[in-house]
Amino acid sequence: MSYAETETASQPACWRRAAALADDHRAVLPAAGERVAVVGCGTSFYMAQAYAALREGSGQGESDAFAASEFPHGRGYDRVVALTRSGTTTEVLELLDRVRPASRTVAVTADPLTPVRDAADDLVVLDFADERSVVQTRFATSALTLLRAHLGLHTEEAVRDAERALAEPLPEGLPERTQFSFLGRGWTVGLAHEAALKMKEASLAWTESYPAMEYRHGPISVSTSGTATWMFGAAPEGLAEQVRATGAQWVESGLDPLADLVRVQRLALARAAAQGLDPDAPRHLTRSVVLDQA
């Protein structure tokens, strides 16, 4: 069994632990009313998008998400939240260095012994959710769960839904599809982007991801009888019918959207296995991107 499979399966337990830590870290996480930027790279950037939309949507203050490399340095933020599994990613470390001390910084990381320890003002350590696989699963979802719990938006039902997502069979015919489009609205847009990335990293699939209402503005043109369109959370009215009219498979569930992401992780691993790919060591990727310094 790959590390990725073991780590994926451990998510319900990790989420319970992460949620329980939210109160302990209250003093270093964004307070209501603060203007906040949330940053990361790759999977962490997509979790940043989900958290920023959840936070602003719940009325706790303006919250922007940026890929660390695209941070708009002219702006002022009360606090910058960095998500970094390894604590070594070059763009994140450079960004933290540059925004201090104007912004208070907090890093959510799996490894308290890496350079992010000195780069951020505060640390939230989720070492129990660290991973051996290059492809991230449980660290990312546990970090989001902790942040969601801090916002008062985590429920035990989300954990039970993740257990269901691990136990129940995937929709029939899905692994054989040739193209996958993932859609979200609000905080689930970030989940859609992460789902697309997971599928391409682990199984080299042709995947796309969009805010759901954007799908009709061009991307639906690639949908056909060989493809699948997967909605995170509630779908816009009429969209399921329009997608089915293209011949594509429409996928949605009543699960908590973060638990629904677990189903995509399983799909990605199933497709990887069918192709003889190793999700612990995907093509051209390393666990953390550390760039040569000029």
Q: Which is nearer to its own copies, 254 or 283 (CB)?
A: 283
Please tell me the distance from the alpha carbon of residue 271 to that of residue 137, in angstroms, as a whole number.
16
Q: Work out which of 101, 169, 173, 238 binds its own copies, going by CB under 8 A.
A: 238
Q: Which is nearer to its own copies, 73 or 169 (CB)?
A: 73
Q: Which is nearer to its own copies, 13 or 281 (CB)?
A: 281
Please tell me the distance from the alpha carbon of residue 230 to that of residue 181, in angstroms, as a whole number.
6
Q: Which residues of 160-180 are buried (b: 16+ CB within 10 A; e: fewer)?
A: ebbbbbbeeeebeebbebebb
User: Is residue 6 at the binding interface for its own copies, with CB under 8 A as the rule?
Assistant: no
User: Is residue 222 at the binding interface for its own copies, with CB under 8 A as the rule?
Assistant: yes
Number of residues interacting with its own copies: please give it, by CB under 8 A: 52
Q: Which of residues 254-283 bind its own copies (CB under 8 A)?
A: 282-283
Please tell me the distance from the alpha carbon of residue 8 to that of residue 198, in angstroms, as a whole number.
12
Please tell me the distance from the alpha carbon of residue 85 to that of residue 288, in angstroms, as a whole number.
8
Q: Which residues are 151's β-sheet partners?
A: none
Sheet containing 79-84: order of strands: 63-67, 36-40, 79-84, 104-109, 122-125
Q: Work out which of 9, 165, 191, 212 binds its own copies, going by CB under 8 A.
A: 212
User: Is residue 216 at the binding interface for its own copies, with CB under 8 A as the rule?
Assistant: yes
Q: Which of residues 144-183 bind its own copies (CB under 8 A)?
A: 179
Please tell me the distance from the alpha carbon of residue 73 to that of residue 69, in angstroms, as a whole number.
10
Read off φ and ψ for residue 180, nearest 5 degrees: -130, 125
Q: Work out which of 197, 251, 267, 272 binds its own copies, going by CB under 8 A.
A: 197
Q: Which is nearer to its own copies, 28 or 140 (CB)?
A: 140
Q: Which is nearer to its own copies, 20 or 290 (CB)?
A: 290
For the record, the structure tokens of 291 come out as 């760039």
Q: CA dist 108 to 8, 146, 218, 280, Å?
A: 19, 10, 36, 22
In this structure, the number of other CB atoms found within 10 A of the CB of residue 200 comes to: 16
User: Is residue 235 at the binding interface for its own copies, with CB under 8 A as the rule?
Assistant: no
Stretch that binds its own copies, among 15-23, 56-64, 78-86, 263-271 (CB under 8 A): 56-64
Q: Work out which of 5, 201, 256, 280 binds its own copies, going by CB under 8 A.
A: 201
End-to-end CA separation in angstroms for the chain: 40
Q: Work out which of 72, 101, 254, 276 binds its own copies, going by CB under 8 A.
A: 72
Site residues (vs its own copies, CB under 8 A): 41-43, 45, 56-57, 59, 62, 64, 67-70, 72, 74-75, 91, 179, 185-186, 189, 197, 200-201, 204, 206, 208, 211-214, 216-224, 237-238, 242, 246, 282-285, 289, 291-292, 294
